[in-house]
Structure 1
Amino acid sequence: MFSHQQIRKPLLATFQQIRSKRTTAISPEVQKLVTQLSVLSAGRKQPRLLKLCNEDYVKHQIITKAWSQLRNQKKKSDEALLNKQLDSMSFACEELKKISPELYNLANKKEYGKRFPLEIRVPTEYPPRNIWYYDYVPPVAKDSKK
């Protein structure tokens, strides 16, 4: 009969051989060249084609077409809304120009060096990642006279 130690030693040796690092007969220069070429050609590789039966392929095409139509419809509605807003802004600017040219020129005056204030958050579709900026200190006015 074999003892427990006699059985365990060959198993450990086999396990260690399996987990050992593979060595190749390629020189490091050739290996570097192969790696560089594989990285360069990685961008040109095509994705694998889906292997679908005819019914599944038709379903896939229908879903893809419906999704692209939905995206196009959303894009057109967003573009129409933006065009409507632009028309409204240009109409308001023309009315202001007719009513008071001084106010129109003052509203459209270029101010260099003026930055967007931190207190105002740009409206987005998603909530901010940081809900509150705790370390905010408002800028001190330089021309305050005592």
Structure 2
Amino acid sequence: MASLFLRRAVLSTVPASRVLVPRAAAPSSVEHTSDARTELIKKVLFELPSREPLELSEEDQERNETIERAWKLVKMIEREARDAELERKFRAMREAMLELERTNERLFRGALVRNRHITFPRQMKIPTETPPTAGWDYSYKAPEAIEATPTKAQKVDESSS
């Protein structure tokens, strides 16, 4: 059985004009036999490897579920923060457009016109959320430690001694 992922990957690499749509075929008098090499290639490419289920103790299962829930919570918080930031930006953009409409009608209409002949600036850096390629700076030296002012808790401890 071919995996859905591999089918999509193959279809995404083939131009749309070359994708063949399966059609109902007339019964053929010729039997289609495939050789062993083709069967082996199909098996290697399309069959999912069988995995044996992990046998975890109750404690390990609970630990795993706790980690999964914490990870989902972190991702949810990140997603909500990103959504809130986008909402804030769109709200500010909407308010700016309303202000422009109130102050200068001609500029407002000009801002809404789309120019069909604008090409995307090729020199623009693609926005990403990945770490930089430079990586870790191994030559970094920590600054000299500065004497910190004592905190309230430290002052209380010193005065009680």
Residues 37/127 of structure 1: CA separation in 2 closer, same or farther (3 Å cut): closer
In the alignment, which residue of structure 1 is the partner of 2:109?
Answer: 105
TM-score by length of 2: 0.52
> Which residue does 1:132 correspond to in 2?
none
Q: For residues 130 and 38 of structure 2, what CA distance do their matches in structure 1 show?
A: 46
Out of 62, 84, 88, which is 1:84 matched to? Answer: 88
Moved over 6 A (4+): none
What 5-or-longer segments of structure 1 have no aligned partner? Answer: 1-28, 130-146
Task: Name the residue aligned to 1:94.
Answer: 98
**1:116 offset after TM fit, Å?**
2.5
Gaps of 5+ in 2: 1-33, 134-161
Q: Number of matched residues?
A: 101
Where in structure 2 are the equivalents of 1:1-146 lying within 5 Å? 29-32=34-37, 34-35=39-40, 37-39=42-44, 42-43=47-48, 47-126=51-130
What does residue 27 of structure 2 align with?
none
Which of these two proteins has the greater Rg computed from alpha carbons? 1
Moved more, 76-85 or 32-41: 32-41
Aligned-pair distance for 1:46? 5.7
User: TM-score of the superposition, structure 1-length normalised?
Assistant: 0.57
CA distance in 1, matches of 2:129, 2:38: 47
Q: Percentage identity across aligned positions?
A: 24
Could you tell me how far 1:96 is from its partner in structure 2?
Answer: 0.3
The one-letter amino acid of 2:85's match is: L
What is the root-mean-square deviation of aligned Cα atoms in Å? 2.8
